[in-house]
Amino acid sequence: MRVDELELDAELLSILSESGITKLYPTQCTAIPEVLAGKNVVASIPTASGKSLIGYIALLRAFRQRNKGLYVVPLKALANEKYQELKVFEKAGMRLALSTGDYDKSGETLANKDVIIATCEKADSLLRHNAAWIRSISTLVVDEVHLINDPSRGPTVEMVISKLRKLNPGIQIVALSATIKNSAEIAKWLDAVHIHSDWRPVPLKQGVYCDGTVFFTDNSIVTVDEDEDELWALIKRSVLGGGQVLVFVNTRKGAENAAMKYRARMREITGELHERLEEDVEEASQLSEKINSCVECGVAFHHAGLTASQRGFIERMFKEGKIKCLFATPTLAAGINLPARTVIVRDIHRYSGNAGMSFIPVMEIRQMCGRAGRPKYDREGEAIIFARNREMAELILDEYLLGETESVFSQIGNERAIRTHVLSSIASRLCQTEEELTSFFNSTFCSMQLSREEIELSIRKALDFLQREHMIVEEGGTYRATLFGRRVSDLYLDPESAIILRKALALYVPEAVLGLLHAVCSTPDLMPVFISQSEIEEYVDIADARRKELIFRLEDAEDPERYLSELKTAMILLDWISEEDEEKILERYNIYPGDLREKCESARWLINSTKELAALLNNEYTESIERLAMRMEKGVSERLLDLASLKGIGRKRAKMLFLHGYRSRMDLRDADVEELKKVPGIGKEIAISIIKQCQGRIRTVKSEERNRYEWF
């Protein structure tokens, strides 16, 4: 079926054609007419099989009917990718918005947008704020809906769908999923047309490697030279054939070590490409030395411990064909569109906390394998899973290559999820009685898998907890949120986090910065960094030495090891706002730059939330907490806060300005451009920008405590 045969106007069809979309895949031919007919659709099809277009068509239909569409994705990177792809429709007048951050905003600025791309958490926060335009959403597209199975993100995905169905009974829902065993059950829940297919635009050849031979499911075999490194032999075979390779390994360190191991060999076969890669690396000054040394050889590693800019650079280089082999952790498989001719799954086990090493689920392995085969470049994709012995090879063949994927299960029933969403339902006045709550939760996917009695019991426990903690009150059978409960919901806090922060506020004094940082790290909304057994004694000593600064004490902890892990995380944050060199922080605590950014961002949000709760509870230290949040955002001490708040000035430039005698904006107001250029990191354009910002009108504002400068 050709795209120009679809029931869309000529302008939209022209844009699709200009984007290279002229023919529909078989699964699209089945799904899109149903979408255009206004029906709910669940499309469970393989990775890279055209799911996104099905969702885009639903949004285009809503747009041409002058209705609003919402596209929900699990990750910020995926939201950015979808936003860039949909921007082509702005020429047809589509008003597009990307919304992924700041959970304490009502989103009223989105009222005049036609299509909004949001992460599931942001979509949920918008629903909690009761923006009037929410009721004008006629189409909801949910990408990666199988993540309902995820204990962390799954409940939010499910609640966004369920809340919008309750608020907008006629809403069209298009749910896109990888192939899962019980996709028909999700379709039944959504009263949707179920479309399930294993068809792929690029055929996928799958096999298992063992003892020098790859055994493919089509009964063909490939023999590898046993005198050569087996993994390298498979990589080289694909690269010399003009392809690219994705190798999935189970740890970050494993990805890095493999890239470092094979960089010299890759450099030998990249030929003239090497010189061009050196030029690209020179332009990307934000990269680490380790990344540089790999990328310039045509190989790289990718994992969540890298910064967003590092991951973005590596992804771009891979898409441009300059990186020939990429070693990645499984998180890449569920993220952005990054196909390769060959996918090699080196590890099928991973560490799972107290459970030790466990098998990676079939669905995740299938998503990894699904990255094999680049549309428009490859006639066939090739996915190979490594086995250490014959017994393991047979298991891989039976379970991963020929077996079924797992079913997905609702995660709303867990205690943390249900108390959070019961509170948000009451605070947003979606439900105000126990009967309404029961009815609502019986409309979720959870009701397909749990009995009514089990759901009612979970709701009753959540209500008791929320009443006990003064987040809700009951009057004549009707529940309403207290001011505290409403603020907790609006701030997107786990109720347990709010309780911890409320306790901390009762004991907080501005001098005890470490104490508040540790309290923030004690909440379930911030995952602490790992602490090794060899570090335990060190942090026990720190807990004792800094006892007076800490709000919560080690001897009171239910889980002492977790307490010390939280303390280690707090010490990382303290070093960050004390202007410690970033490289020293990473080395001292053995963490990755992406983890440091993530912990600082989470801490900033939680400190800001603490400030909001402090204002509600009439705490006298609201201003000092606000300044602490600003310090966390900028990574500076009090002395540099004024300088670091200038646009274009981060912690490094602020420190350089301070060391060269520029202690505040007042010092910069009459600075000379040529003199400023002498400060390391300050070029002409930045110098001019600094002076212009500081020459804004100054107004002295009187307050009871002191005079301060307010710049604007």
Q: Specify the pLDDT at position 705.
A: 37
- Rounded to 10 degrees, the C-alpha dihedral 139/142/143/145 comes to -150
Round to whole Å and give the CA distance between 358 and 360. 6
Distance CA 321, CA 239 (A): 11
Say how far apart CA 538 and CA 532 lie, in whole Å: 11
The structure tokens listed for 406 are 């797992």
415-490: in CATH 2.60.40.10: no
Architecture of domain 493-635: Orthogonal Bundle (1.10)
Q: Which fold has domain 3-196?
A: Rossmann fold (3.40.50)
* Rounded CA separation 493/73 (Å): 20
Asked if 246 contacts 303 with a C-beta cutoff of 8 angstroms, the reply is no
Are 213 and 225 contacting, i.e. CB atoms less than 8 angstroms apart? no
Pair 135, 164: CB distance under 8 Å: no
Q: What is the rounded CA–CA span in Å between residue 595 and residue 601?
A: 10
Tokens representing 236 are 């080289």
**Tokens 């007419």 correspond to what residue?**
33
∠457-463-466 over CA atoms, to 5°? 145
In 32-167, the DSSP E strands lie at 41-44, 68-73, 96-99, 115-119, 137-142
CB 323 within 8 A of CB 299: yes
**Number of CB atoms found within 10 A of residue 113's CB:** 19
Query: What is 204-398's CATH topology?
Result: Rossmann fold (3.40.50)
pTM equals 0.91
Element (H, E) at 585: helix 582-589
**In CATH, what number does 637-712 get?**
1.10.150.20
Domain locations in the chain? 3-196, 204-398, 415-490, 493-635, 637-712
Are the C-beta atoms of 103 and 31 separated by less than 8 Å? no
| Block mean pLDDT (10 aa), the chain, length 712 | 88 92 93 97 90 96 96 92 95 94 80 95 93 93 95 95 96 94 96 95 94 93 82 92 94 95 90 59 64 92 91 91 94 79 94 80 92 88 94 95 93 94 97 97 95 95 97 96 97 97 94 96 97 96 96 95 98 97 94 95 97 94 95 95 90 92 87 89 90 65 36 28
Asked, colleague to colleague, whether 204-398 and 493-635 share their fold, the answer is: no
Can you tell me the distance from the alpha carbon of 524 to that of 526, in angstroms, rounded to the nearest whole number?
5
CA pair distance 471, 486, nearest whole angstrom = 7
- Per-residue confidence (pLDDT) for residue 283, from 0 to 100: 53
Instruction: Provide the edge-to-edge strand list for the sheet that holds 245-248.
Output: 221-223, 213-216, 204-210, 381-386, 342-345, 245-248, 325-328, 299-302
**In this structure, what DSSP letter does residue 410 have?**
-
Q: Alpha-carbon distance 528 to 522, whole Å?
A: 8
Q: Give the Cα-Cα-Cα angle 325, 326, 327 (nearest 5 degrees).
A: 125
CB-based contact 176:196 (threshold 8 Å): no
Containing 351, the helix (H) or strand (E) segment is strand 349-351
Q: What is the per-residue pLDDT for 224?
A: 84
